[in-house]
């Protein structure tokens, strides 16, 4: 990550820090007069196209709360610029911070905090020097603009709180409400012992609380307000002894080393006070709100766009490389599978050659044998088998135990063929109407009363009807007797008294 330079702007001297990888290094120091500006311009000549930020820590900073119509986009920007122009003579370093929406009657407005510096002329030459050198200006910040981020890092994410730090410029006090800046002030502080500095912090915080109550920024019945004090390194015990909480202020003291660890500051130059926290936040996670206009930041914005384009191209290149790698793996796997299949094919060919070598010598070719076997298998699969029709006959005979079978003839034939059923082994002739399986069943009826001609005849008819079910069709039935009124009583009742009446039934089934 490229190093970022931060110009720490105070009333007397200006310090140039270099921030990289969570560390701060003092790179140069300039006086606030014309020789200091000339030295700064000379310094910038060797660092063209570098990234710069400005962090202002001055006492003359104005804050004014106002309301504007709730708008979006360019309309909102136009209204805010008009309000800033009405409030400040020089709007080069002016900003409007949103405090959220509010409903007034039937209208919805937006609360904004207008802020700027009372003396922007002292900053103009330094900003002009940055612009003339071609440096990329990331933004112009003040310590109060970074106070909400510092409060969040130190555990204050909601409610009202005072953030108090001792910087090289003096005692910095910022009032934050629900993560948004409401007011700030800088009070000059001379060199003091820890107890005196703690007493000064208490008295100034009480004065600021009373002042904000007078301005109605802090409600009178709001209850005690939390005060987060960042004590210089090694002075936390002295501060906690002096800063006792009461009904108005609840003090919480944090050591400077603990605060630096909370914000991620790993190292800072010797002699750097509380401003190190703000400088690190300005370099690592600057807020969206700042004082520089888009015109002054145009080089930085273009640089960000260039980085975004390069990052997008790099991501596209990585994605293409990953896709190409996946396709290459697919090709390798396909080649491996093809090689395995080729090996299996060679092994199968070798096995086939070994098997065919054991075949006896024939007067025809192997291809003709294969065709003959295939055709024989097809004919065998299409040939008729008597299993199903015999199983049907067995089930019917179980229902008629008085019937005995003397003969059973099975064969195949065409519909309407008057000849006897053709044996199953005979070669069928093609017929568009299909082939039929035919079974001729001959047997006897073992009846107790053989003189009951009609009863015996009824039994044979029921037996024949049962054979004509389940997809089978009854073709012919020869009864033992002719008991119709038109004919003469005839039939075969046996040659002797002991012979049983005989019958013949023929039924068929269409072959699939």
CATH of residue 499's domain is 3.30.70.60
Distance CA(428)–CA(426), nearest Å, equals 6
pLDDT given at position 116:
94
> What's the whole-number mean pLDDT along residues 72-97?
92
Order of all β-strands in the sheet with 403-413: 403-413, 436-445, 502-510, 473-478
Considering only CA atoms, give the Rg of the chain.
Answer: 54
- Assess whether 402 and 289 both reside in one domain: no
> What's the whole-number mean pLDDT along residues 23-51?
90
Highest mean pLDDT among 6-10, 357-361, 466-470: 6-10
Long-range interactions of 453-456: CB distance < 8 A, separation 24+: 453/480, 453/481, 453/483, 453/489, 453/491, 453/493, 454/483, 456/480, 456/481, 456/501
> What's the whole-number mean pLDDT along residues 151-175?
93
Residue 133, CB-side half-sphere exposure with 13 Å CA sphere: 25
- Assess whether 291 and 399 both reside in one domain: no
- Assess whether 407 and 259 both reside in one domain: no
279-304 per-position pLDDT tens digit: 999 999 899 889 998 889 999 999 88
Distance CA(237)–CA(253), nearest Å, equals 9
Mean pLDDT of the chain: 85
Q: Which of 241, 275, 296 is the last residue of a domain?
A: 296
- Assess whether 145 and 289 both reside in one domain: yes
Query: 203 Cβ partners below 8 Å, 6+ apart?
Result: none
0.75 exceeded by the pTM? no
Neighbours of 226 (CB within 10 A): 17
- Assess whether 171 and 277 both reside in one domain: yes
Spell out the SS3 assignment of 156-191: CCCCEEEEEEEECCEEEEEEEECCEEEEEEEECCCC
Tell whether 483 is covered by a domain.
yes
98-128 per-position pLDDT tens digit: 999 988 777 899 999 999 998 888 899 999 9
Tell whether 240 is covered by a domain.
yes
pLDDT given at position 264:
94
Positive/negative CA dihedral, 278, 284, 285, 287? positive
Q: Which of 296, 318, 337 is the last residue of a domain?
A: 296
Buried b / exposed e over 437-461, threshold 16 CB at 10 Å, is: bbbbbebbbebeebeebeebbebbe
pLDDT given at position 323:
93
Q: Which residues partner with 442 through β-bridges?
A: 407, 504
Count up the domains in the chain and report the number: 2
Tell whether 354 is covered by a domain.
no
> What's the whole-number mean pLDDT along residues 329-355?
91
200-230 per-position pLDDT tens digit: 999 999 999 999 999 888 888 878 999 999 9
- Do the strands 51-56 and 136-142 form a parallel or antiparallel pair, or are they unpaired? parallel
Residue 419's domain spans which residues? 387-510
DSSP letter string over 194-252? HHHHHHHHHHHHHHHHHHHHHTTSS-TTS--EEEEEEEPTT-HHHHHHH----SSEEEE
Please classify residue 53 by burial: count the beta carbons closer than 10 Å to its beta carbon, then call 0-12 exposed, 13-18 middle and 19+ buried: buried
449 pLDDT higher than 70: no
Tell whether 140 is covered by a domain.
yes
Tell whether 114 is covered by a domain.
no
433 pLDDT higher than 70: no
The one-character DSSP state at 481 is: B
Distance CA(268)–CA(280), nearest Å, equals 9
- Assess whether 273 and 421 both reside in one domain: no
Q: Which residues partner with 180 through β-bridges?
A: 177
Q: Which residue has the tokens 């122009």?
A: 85
Look at 451 and 476; give whichever has higher pLDDT: 476
427 pLDDT higher than 60: no
pLDDT band at 81 (very low <50, low <70, confident <90, very high): very high
Distance CA(475)–CA(409), nearest Å, equals 14
Tell whether 353 is covered by a domain.
no
- Assess whether 147 and 258 both reside in one domain: yes
Q: Quick one: what percent of the chain has pLDDT higher than 70?
A: 89
- Assess whether 268 and 401 both reside in one domain: no
Tell whether 180 is covered by a domain.
yes
Q: Which residue has the tokens 């440096």?
A: 135
CA proximity to 8, closest of 231, 267, 276, 269: 276
Cβ 99 vs Cβ 66: under 8 Å: no
Distance CA(51)–CA(205), nearest Å, equals 36
Please classify residue 367 by burial: count the beta carbons closer than 10 Å to its beta carbon, then call 0-12 exposed, 13-18 middle and 19+ buried: exposed
Length of the chain: 512
- Assess whether 162 and 280 both reside in one domain: yes
Q: Which of 296, 325, 359 is the last residue of a domain?
A: 296
Tell whether 486 is covered by a domain.
yes
> What's the whole-number mean pLDDT along residues 53-78?
92
241-250 per-position pLDDT tens digit: 999 999 899 9
């Amino acid at each position: 990550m490229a190093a970022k330079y931060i110009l720490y702007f105070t009333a007397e001297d200006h310090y140039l820090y270099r921030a990289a990888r969570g560390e701060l290094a003092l790179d140069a120091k300039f006086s606030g007069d014309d020789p200091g500006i000339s030295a700064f311009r000379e310094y910038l000549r060797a660092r063209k196209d570098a990234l710069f930020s400005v962090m202002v820590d001055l006492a003359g900073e104005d804050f004014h709360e106002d309301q504007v119509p709730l708008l979006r986009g360019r309309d909102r920007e136009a209204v805010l610029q008009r309000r800033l122009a009405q409030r400040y003579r020089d709007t080069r370093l002016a900003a409007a911070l949103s405090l959220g929406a509010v409903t007034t009657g039937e209208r919805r407005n937006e609360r904004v905090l207008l802020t700027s510096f009372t003396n922007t002329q002292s900053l103009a030459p330094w900003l002009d020097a940055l612009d003339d050198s071609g440096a990329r200006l990331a933004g112009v910040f003040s310590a109060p603009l970074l106070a909400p981020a510092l409060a969040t890092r130190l555990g204050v994410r909601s409610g009202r709180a005072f953030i108090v730090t001792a910087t090289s410029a003096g005692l910095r006090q910022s009032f934050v409400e629900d993560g948004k800046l409401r007011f700030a002030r800088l009070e000059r502080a001379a060199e003091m012992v820890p107890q005196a500095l703690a007493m000064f912090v208490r008295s100034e915080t009480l004065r600021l609380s009373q002042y904000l109550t007078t301005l109605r920024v802090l409600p009178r019945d709001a209850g005690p307000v939390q005060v987060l004090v960042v004590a210089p390194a090694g002075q936390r015990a002295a501060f906690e002894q002096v800063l006792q909480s009461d009904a108005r202020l609840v003090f919480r003291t944090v050591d400077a080393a603990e605060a630096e660890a909370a914000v991620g500051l790993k190292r800072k130059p010797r002699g750097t006070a509380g401003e190190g926290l703000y400088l690190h936040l300005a370099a690592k996670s600057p807020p969206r709100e700042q004082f520089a206009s888009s015109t002054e930041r145009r080089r930085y914005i273009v640089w960000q766009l260039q980085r975004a384009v390069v990052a997008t191209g790099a991501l596209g290149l990585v994605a293409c490389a990953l896709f190409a790698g996946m396709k290459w793996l697919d090709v390798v796997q396909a080649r491996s599978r093809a090689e395995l299949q080729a090996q299996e094919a060679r092994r199968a060919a070798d096995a086939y050659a070994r098997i065919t070598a054991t075949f006896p010598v024939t007067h025809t070719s192997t291809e003709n044998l294969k065709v003959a076997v295939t055709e024989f298998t097809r004919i065998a699969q299409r040939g008729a088998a008597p299993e199903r029709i015999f199983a049907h006959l067995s089930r019917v005979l179980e229902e008629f135990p008085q019937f005995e079978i003397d003969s059973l003839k099975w064969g195949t034939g065409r519909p309407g063929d008057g000849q006897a059923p053709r044996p199953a082994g005979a070669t069928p002739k093609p017929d568009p109407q299909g082939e039929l399986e035919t079974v001729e069943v001959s047997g006897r009826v073992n009846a107790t009363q053989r003189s009951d001609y009609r009863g015996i005849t009824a039994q044979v008819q029921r037996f024949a009807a049962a054979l004509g079910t389940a997809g089978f069709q009854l073709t012919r039935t020869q009864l033992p007797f002719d008991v119709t009124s038109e004919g003469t009583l005839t039939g075969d009742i046996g040659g002797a008294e002991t012979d049983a009446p005989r019958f013949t039934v023929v039924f068929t089934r269409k072959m699939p």
